[in-house]
Structure 1
Amino acid sequence: MTSATIKLFLPRGDAKSLRTAEISNWTGKAIAAPRTELDDLLAREELEKAGVYILIGSDPATNAPRAYIGEAEVIRERLKQHRTKEFSSAIVFVSKDENLTKAHVRYLESRLLAEASQVKRFILEQNQAGGSRLPESDREDMEVFLAHIRQLLPVLGSDILSPIAQLSENTLQGGLLFCRNKGAEAKGQRTAGGFVIYQGSTAVLGQRPSAESSTFISEKRKQLAADGTLIEREGFLLFTRDAEFLSPSGAATVIHGGTANGLVAWKTKDGKTLKQLDEER
């Protein structure tokens, strides 16, 4: 990914409130807002244009991240139709000129859905969009537009298109680490987003009494089971895909089925703890 100069504007001075984002020498613009400021978002003149949008929320049953990706020739009118939909924030992408057509935004919607589906961080509320056939030059322009969307989404608080770090023996964050408990063994490593447990890892099936005093442990395990990340297999819980956590301890508690100190629970193949690795730096 190429370097970029990003301009953020906070109309209220609050980074969690409505905000806009632009990239130097790019004709696009992003506007993000929490659900509580939907009316303020709808009032902005940029929403009279064609564009794509992402509604971000969580599954009411499992609390797993959920998103709706859409497009419209007039973003404002489409977002009005979502007033009754349950979501916590919205991110809109438009062009500062008038160059985005219906065909362009349909293409972008299709590509966004395909990438979000491949990354698998969010449950998507709709199936793959039909997309649109574009001339080769237009496709290249939209791929550039999409690349800037990828750059701006994390800045605006969403990792929906950010791939989970791939398994690597050599990394500056301590290399491949292991967490073992009662026969279960997990592989993982630190990432820019926190800590990732890799596909094929196992966790203990049951939960310790300490899990009952922590909402996170039981709810996170339920969420991972509900979305198919964790399945029961041969007396353990098996990770069917990579899963990212905010911290090493958050990852370790799921493996242990109870409270755990991730700095001690995660070790190198030689038995050195993550805490020891940190102290050596």
Structure 2
Amino acid sequence: MQPATIKLFLINGSPTGLRTAEISNWTGKAIAGPRSDLDDYLKRPELATPGVYFLSGVDADSGEPILYIGEAENVAKRLKQHAKTEQKDYWVHTSAFVSKDDNLTKAHIKYIEGKLIQQAHASKRVIVMNSASSGSSLPEADRAEMDVFIERMIQLLPVLGIHHFSKPAITNPSVKKTVQPDSPDTERTILYCKVKGLIASGTRSEDGFTVFKDSQAVEDIVKSCPAGTVKLRKALVEKGIISLQDGSYIFTEDYEFSSPSAAGAFISGRSTNGLTAWVTEDNRPLKDLKS
């Protein structure tokens, strides 16, 4: 992504309350806030215009992040309908994107919604409450313009607490580095977790710890294994991120955990101190590394 200057305005002074976010030289604007402040949120004049919105929270059963993506010609009116007529217990935070120059049409926002739903499903990092959407057909020039709009949205979303659209690191353990798309190469230390003759490799990442594709994890877990790990294993099997092969689980793609310890527990099937379980090729533990 391109470097950007973000302007964040805390409407009530709280960093987790109502806030707006903008990027310099961009026509879009984000308005975000907790559902507990929905009445004040809906009074924002920007939301009486076309836009795309996100209802986010956490799934009560699995503990995984959960997301609904929608579009409306009047965002405030649509959110009022959600609040009154739909049972969305997971919904704790709202984020909406509109245009400051009133240049978004119904076709534009349907195109944006469709693209974001596809990306959210493809990320496998969040439970998406929408089925896959084909969006709207646009002329080539409009598609290019909306694709840029989406890139800016994705750049802002982590600032608003939604991290599920960020591009994952491109990994190449053989040369011991990971590279973020659209940015210079970033050297990272590759770490290994070995248990019961199995081996997993990974590295620290922006939101925790990424375990690499082809890593192995034990099939059986101890009774005292954290409940969250048990639920996550089931979820990753269903998503096809891990598969059982010859008595162990194999990662079919890179997957980012919330911490080295969460990754270690998943690999070993028991509570694990990630700072000591993950070691370098020359057996130095993660806790001894500078970063």
Please give the TM-score of this superposition, normalised by the length of structure 2: 0.87
Identical columns (%): 47
Q: Summarize deviations over 1:163-217 as a string: whole Å, max 9, x none.
A: 2222132255642221110122212111111110122222112223542xx4444
The 1-side partners of 2:108 and 2:223 are apart by 54
Secondary structure of the residue aligned to 1:206 is coil
Equivalent in the alignment of 1:272: 284
* Partner SS state of residue 190, structure 1: strand
Moved more, 247-256 or 259-268: 259-268
Residue identity opposite 1:184 in structure 2:
L
1:170 pairs with 173, 177, 188, which one? 177
In 2, Cα distance between equivalents of 1:258 and 1:173: 30
Code of the aligned partner of 2:88: K
Query: Could you tell me how far apart the structure 1 residues matched to 2:58 and 2:253 are?
Result: 20
Once the two structures are superposed, what CA deviation does each residue of 1:5-44 show, in whole Å capped at 9, x if it has no partner? 1111111211111211011121111011122222222221
Q: Does 1:244 align with 2:256?
A: yes
How far did 1:135 drift? 2.4
Match of 1:193 in 2: 207
C-alpha separation between the residues in 1 aligned to 2:106 and 2:229? 45
Q: Which residue does 2:117 correspond to in 1?
A: 113
The Cα of 1:256 is off from its aligned counterpart by 1.3
State the alpha-carbon separation in 2 of the partners of residues 173 and 220 from structure 1.
29
Query: Aligned partners of 1:250 and 1:56: how far apart in 2?
Result: 23
**1:24-78: per-residue Cα shift (whole Å, max 9, x none)?**
1211110111222222222211111001111112333322222111111111122
Q: Indicate which of 83, 94, 99 corresponds to 1:95.
A: 99
Cα RMSD over matched residues? 2.1
Give the 5 Å matches for 1:1-281.
1-83=1-83, 84-86=87-89, 87-168=91-172, 169-171=176-178, 174-211=188-225, 214-278=226-290
Aligned to 1:97, the other structure's residue is in SS state: coil
Change in CA separation of 1:120 and 1:215 when aligned onto 2, cut-off 3 Å: closer
Bigger shift: 147-156 or 30-39?
30-39
Q: Secondary structure at the match of 2:177?
A: coil
Contact 2:171 2:177 survives alignment (8 Å): no
Residue pair 1:57, 1:65 contacting (<8 A) in 2 also: yes
Q: Deviations over 1:58-115 (max 9, x none)?
A: 3333222221111111111221222232312111000112111101101111111222
Structure 2 regions of 5+ residues with no counterpart?
179-185
Amino acid aligned to 1:49: T
Give the AA of the match of 1:129. Answer: S
The number of residues matched between the two structures is 277
Q: Name structure 1 gaps, 5 residues minimum.
A: none
CA contact (8 A) 2:28 2:98 kept: yes
Alignment partners' CA distance in 2, 1:123 and 1:241: 18
Residue identity matched to 2:203: Q
1:218 positional shift: 3.7
Deviates more, 1:145-154 or 1:123-132: 123-132
Contact 1:173/1:189 (CA < 8 Å) preserved in 2? no
